[in-house]
Copies of this chain bind each other. A is one copy, B any other.
Amino acid sequence: MKVAVLGCGSVGSQVVRLLGEQADDLAARVGAPVELAGVAVRRLDAAREVDVPTELLTTDAAALVARDDIDLVIEVIGGIEPARSLILGAPEGGASVVTANKALLAEDGPTLFEAAEKAGRDLYYEAAVAGAIPILRPLRESLAGDKVTRVLGIVNGTTNFILDKMDTSGAGFADALEEAQALGYAEADPTADVEGFDAAAKAAILASLAFHSRVTAADVHREGIADVTAGDVRSARDMGSVVKLLAIAELRTGADGEEAVSVRVHPAMIPRSHPLASVREAYNAVFVESEAAGQLMFYGPGAGGSPTASAVLGDLVTVARNHRQGTRGMGESAYADRAVLPMGETLTRYHVAIDVADRAGVLAAVAQAFAEHGVSIQTVRQEGRGDDAQLVVVSHEATDAALAATVEQLRNMEIVREVTSVMRVEGTEE
């Protein structure tokens, strides 16, 4: 089994290290030796975390992929190009692929799956979602006899670190981001994490697998955490909740009565008793609900060179076993072909905190605004504060459009001084 590794950054170098250190175990588990046949890098003379024999290094990734003797290409470059061309080239040349490239899979997964299937080769990507946590294989295989109804994931370590910091220290977003950057949990340009792009790519991959449908990053409703305030976090705390950035994929009945996929990334309040609430710092976890199994959770490190390399090598062993048997894994299935529900039609719950004039009739007026949009209120908490009062309303489930329209109307009411916090509520029973 000859392996080419494309990219020798934090993940690639750990893959190379483990291929060496675990060589005997890998050979025993596969049933044949696994040989590192080449490593494609951008610069031959760059500093690397591991020593790679010079004769294995090349800057010509395409030529490495095209070599006749390569059985497996491990792509850990990331990004769209040249990764896509290289991944498409591998099965043409007879090689299977293991990749950690969530952005590419979420943008153009079906093209990759089709190329692999057409050539009778494997394409595995456990490392693309939640690092070392085995979640794609359980969704695809362990739960293959069950009906998954909901996936709630904390799949971005950077934003979880920032929100956890805001929760424990009371800091605002900017200070918590600065600390995350100082500690290496956030990049200098934190956009991909903070604005939810990374989580949205993972949400698309999770939704595709869970619901046997094609869901791309463009289908995912996305809101980041840059607007989460210390007040939001305090407000969550007051109601026994915590703010998390969630990747949510669930089956919902659309306006046409058909089951559709709701897939979104946004900050939400979840009760502190929920298993996801105790996921601290940069850890990841994915919570899965299915009809027969009930509630499952998968927890672990969601990033890092070594954990991600563990997931890559797990896929390598599977591909190598398939290769030896002359078979391939099942490939992707999109047979259910479910539609993606527009965010406006998705049922959600809102937590809304409002500063109002403290006078008679205010609560009635606010309640009336909710009622006009057909939104039922679950709880209201009122606190007098000098001249003002604060109302905290938690709604029952309603369409996101109706809830958004309600908040818009509240903002325009004369008795409302300010809508201080609007956030969705997840992880509770209706």
Contacts and interface: CB of A to CB of B under 8 A. Distances in A.
Interface of A: 14, 18, 22, 25-26, 28-29, 126, 132-134, 137-138, 141-147, 212, 275, 278, 290, 292-301, 304, 306-307, 309-318, 321, 325-327, 330, 333, 335-336
B333 A28 contact: yes
A310 B143 contact: yes
A294 B306 contact: yes
B22 A314 contact: no
A22 B297 contact: no
Contacts of A126: 142
B146 A310 contact: yes
A212 B28 CA distance: 10
A330 B32 CA distance: 13
A132 B289 CA distance: 11
Contacts of A144: 29, 313-314, 317-318
A374 B275 CA distance: 41
B317 A294 contact: no
- Ranked nearest first, the 8 interchain pairs of A and B with the lowest CB-CB distance are A145-B313, A134-B142, A132-B293, A144-B317, A292-B310, A296-B300, A293-B310, A134-B138
A143 B314 contact: yes
B132 A294 contact: yes
Contacts of A309: 292
Contact of A293 (B300, B321, B336): B300
Q: Which of A22, A295, A314 has the most CB of B within 10 A?
A: A314
A29 B134 contact: no
B147 A143 contact: no
Contacts of A145: 18, 22, 26, 29, 310, 312-317
A297 B295 contact: no
Contacts of A299: 275, 296-299
Given A143-B134, A145-B316, A294 B300 contact: yes
Given A28-B336, A137-B142, A138-B138, A297 B300 contact: yes
Contacts of A300: 293-297
Contacts of A28: 212, 333, 335-336
A275 B279 CA distance: 9
A214 to B, nearest CB: 15
Contact of A307 (B293, B306, B313): B293
A318 B141 contact: yes
A278 B146 CA distance: 26
A301 B296 CA distance: 7
A335 to B, nearest CB: 4
A20 B165 CA distance: 49
A145 B309 CA distance: 9
Given A29-B144, A141-B137, A145-B26, A132 B296 contact: yes
A191 B293 CA distance: 26
A313 B134 contact: no
Contacts of A293: 132, 300-301, 306-307, 310-311
B321 A292 contact: no
A311 B146 CA distance: 8
B310 A290 contact: yes
Contacts of A311: 142, 293
9 contacts: A22-B147, A26-B145, A28-B212, A29-B144, A138-B138, A144-B314, A144-B317, A275-B278, A292-B313
Contact of A292 (B132, B137, B142, B318): B132
Contacts of A25: 147, 212, 336
A146 B318 CA distance: 13
A280 to B, nearest CB: 9
Contact of A306 (B292, B296, B313, B326): B292
B295 A142 contact: no
